[in-house]
Chain A
Amino acid sequence: MKTFQERIDNGETIEPKDDMPDRYRQQLIRMMSQHAHSEVVGMLPEGNWITRAPSLRRKMILLSKVQDEAGHGLYLYSATETLGASRKEVINQLLEGKAKYSSIFNYPTLTWADVAVIGWLVDGAAIINQTMLARSSYGPYSRAMVRICKEESFHKKQGYEMVATMADGTPEQQDMIQDAVNRWWWPTLMMFGPHDENSPNSAELIKWGVKSKTNDELRQSFVDRHVAEAHEVGLEIPDDDLEYNEETGHWEFGEIDWDEFWNVVKGNGPMNKERMKARREAHENGKWVREAAEEYARKQKLSKEKAS
């Protein structure tokens, strides 16, 4: 019989009922539930602008995108449940502040241009990470990712379309979009997590085929792609150290403010409290709906049983 590591090295897919080391299961529960929480909390910054979208077209697009994020959260919660973590348990961890979600959603969306830049940069970063995870060794995670990646490309493209439109607009629109890029660029680079040498989970996740690239490798492909896209529409990247290296073919960039990163991760970002408050309220306010629906189902079942 093959060992677990042999199956991984062989490129086999691990399915819910297969034997797996407890640590593999725990790491996946942690990673996948964080991912699910990020999708759900990620609805909040953009949801903030739905009622104030500048046109009906933009409003329909934004509604649809935010609905997709809810769907992505649900795919991922379901995939996490296949590892034996109940939905209730996983959601309670978020509500009690024990589970993390992507630090990017703890920044405020100050103007409509932020909605454009989130689609372009934040969803652009998510695609790079998720394209890798679509090849993950755990079947349900990988399949959820394939589904998500297909939908995510619309998210990025609608964002870049808006970015390009505003960058080609009035001087006020150009200032607005540049200002949004200036505020979102660095937090987006932080989405890929600490440097490889400070990321203890990375090596283990790569060994198990959950990830196939390091944080720094993913960050570099993000920078290469998005610097080119920024220049294409005449936007500046707010980094004085940004320089193209002819030899490597990569854009070299400045150091991330890691104090800011850890501060936001620890819960002190500009919007951490606000986001958690909104999540808790949504959960509390939905409680009677969940109960009523279950009670209705129970009564329907009872009356069917009586009739037969």
Chain B
Amino acid sequence: MSKENENNSEDTQWPLWEVFTQPRDGKPHEHAGSLHAPDAEKALENARDVYTRRKEAVNLWVVPSNQIVASKGEDEGPFFDPADDKPYRHPQFYSVPRVSKRRS
């Protein structure tokens, strides 16, 4: 048992989960916040009660917080630099002849 679990067993506040809500059919899931729950099933029920009291979601994801891997903050390195010098990936980079639409 890890040290953290031992610590929790005196008076547990349960493990931390991240909650993602899908606001409407066809939309992507978005991070809503986090919560504590003893297991996945309870995490889903708690997420419903805490984050969707006004129909904010048609679907929920819950993920143990310690399973999320994140890139570092913007002040911590050049992680996103490869995208800095590639304007040719955007349509605005190109000039092409203007073709006017003909009305039929």
Contact = CB atoms under 8 A, between A and B. Distances in A.
A4 to B, nearest CB: 8
A81 B76 contact: no
Interface in A146-192: 147, 151
Nearest to A283: B11
B88 to A, nearest CB: 28
A216 interface: no
Given A67-B53, A78-B33, A79-B33, A294 B14 contact: yes
A140 B50 CA distance: 16
Contacts of A300: 39
Nearest to A292: B38
A1 B38 contact: no
A53 B72 CA distance: 51
Given A17-B70, A19-B76, A294-B12, A78 B42 contact: no
What range describes how many residues of A lie at the interface? 35 or more
A2 B75 contact: yes
B25 to A, nearest CB: 22
Given A17-B72, A18-B75, A144-B33, A290 B13 contact: yes
Contacts of A1: 75
A15 B53 contact: no
B84 interface: no
B98 interface: no
A297 B70 CA distance: 27
Interface string A266-308: 0000000000000000000001001101101100110000000
A78 B34 contact: yes
Given A68-B53, A144-B33, A87 B13 contact: yes
A213 B32 CA distance: 27
Given A7-B75, A75-B50, A88-B11, A293 B16 contact: no
A237 interface: no
A91 interface: yes
Interface in A84-143: 86-88, 91, 140, 143
A296 B70 CA distance: 31
Contacts of A88: 8, 11, 13
Nearest to B74: A18
Interface in B51-104: 53-54, 70, 72-76
A149 B99 CA distance: 49
Contacts of B8: 88, 294
Given A17-B70, A296-B38, A75 B33 contact: yes
Contacts of B16: 78, 81, 87
Contacts of B34: 78, 81-82
A87 B35 CA distance: 10
5 contacts: A71-B49, A78-B35, A81-B34, A147-B33, A294-B8
Given A294-B8, A294-B38, 7 more contacts: A19-B73, A86-B13, A87-B16, A151-B53, A293-B38, A297-B38, A300-B39
Q: Which 6 A-B pairs have the closest CB atoms?
A: A18-B73, A297-B39, A297-B38, A293-B38, A78-B34, A87-B13
